[in-house]
Structure formats: C-alpha cells, structure tokens
Amino acid sequence: MAGHKPTVALMVGVFDPITNGHVDVIRRVAAMFDRVIVGVGDNPEKSAMFTADQRAGLVRASLAHAPNVEVVIYRGLTIHFAAQCGATFLVRGIRNSTDLRFESDLAMTNRAAGGVETLYLPADPAIAYISSSLVRQIASGGGDASAMVPAPVWQALLARRSAGK
C-alpha cells in the first residue's frame, strides 16, 4: 500500500512475571498494529522475582506465536523509550476502575510530557482478576497458579520453588 505508515504500539511493564492477562492484551494489540514492542522495564532500585533478562526471556517465550511482537528491555522514562521506538501509541490493559484511574493520570502525563497517546484495552472478564503480584504470592506459597500464566512462566516459577528461592 503506497504511503502506508506502519503503526507501532508500545506496551510496557515490569512483567514479573508475564501473566495470561498480559498475553491476551498483547495478542489483541498485535492484531491491530503492524508492530508491537513489549518494553520490559528494568529498574535496578526495585526488587523483582526475576531479573530483567529472565523476564524478557519469559515474555519472548510466551509470545513466540506473535511474529510482529518484539521484546526489548528498557530503563528510564517510558516517553523517551516510546520516541526511540517510533511508537505511535502506548497500550495499557485495564482490569478494573482502580486501574483506569491510575492509568488515566499516567496517560495525561505521557501526552503532556512526550506527546504520546495511550489506548486502553479492557481485560477479558474471565481473567481480569489475574495480576503478577497475585501469581508471585500463590507460587511462593506453594500454590498452583498454572492457569494464570503461560506454560514457560509456570515452569520457571516451579524451578524457583525447587531451588528454594
């Protein structure tokens, strides 16, 4: 198509770990945009269950079926990362009204500070309760969170549990 400007969407997060909710939103975004970049945030000042490299690897393994999705580790401001990537839109999944309130403030800030727009996708109601912190809590406590995360993530969680971490 002559003159077609490829659209790039950016979805950022810590993804500690990536959940089925994240995968669902990214899959839906990938159907709407030419290219989707998943930015795995690396903030050395915050503790995470998995390292940034491990988290990025789990995201890649969980999204191997999506050829137009690229996974990149980033540090710093999201608006700077969006500009580097040529992202036209930030995409955020919304699980509930609390998410919407928080994300609305963030979206207005990102637009004012970086000129980037944010699109919201509502979570699939069947999995809207899932969060990374809930998965970590269940897995750390010896519970079964396998239905909440992609298979590579569950295997990594089980390996951590076996290693006593």
H or E element that contains 103 = helix 97-114
pLDDT digits (tens, 9 = 90+) for 65-106: 999 999 999 999 999 999 999 998 999 999 999 999 999 999
pTM of the entire predicted model: 0.93
Task: Band the pLDDT of 161: cuts 50, 70, 90.
Answer: confident
pLDDT digits (tens, 9 = 90+) for 24-69: 999 999 999 999 999 999 988 888 999 999 999 999 999 999 999 9
pLDDT of 165 strictly over 70: no
**Domain membership flag for residue 150:** no
Position 2 scores a pLDDT of: 56
Position 163 scores a pLDDT of: 86
Position 45 scores a pLDDT of: 83
47 is catalytic: no
**Domain membership flag for residue 12:** yes
Pick the catalytic residue: 55, 62, 92, 132?
132
**Domain membership flag for residue 148:** no
**Domain membership flag for residue 86:** yes
Count up the domains in the chain and report the number.
1
**Domain membership flag for residue 22:** yes
**Domain membership flag for residue 154:** no
pLDDT of 3 strictly over 90: no
Radius of gyration of the chain (CA): 16
pLDDT of 4 strictly over 60: yes
Q: Write out the residue range of the structural domain in which residue 103 sits.
A: 8-128
CA-CA distance, 124 to 51, in Å (whole number)? 28
65 is catalytic: no
**Domain membership flag for residue 3:** no
Which CATH number belongs to the domain containing residue 105 in this structure?
A: 3.40.50.620
132 is catalytic: yes
Average pLDDT over residues 132-161: 96
Pick the catalytic residue: 22, 55, 92, 136?
22
Is 96 buried (19+), middle (13-18) or exposed (0-12) by CB count in 10 A?
A: exposed
**Domain membership flag for residue 97:** yes
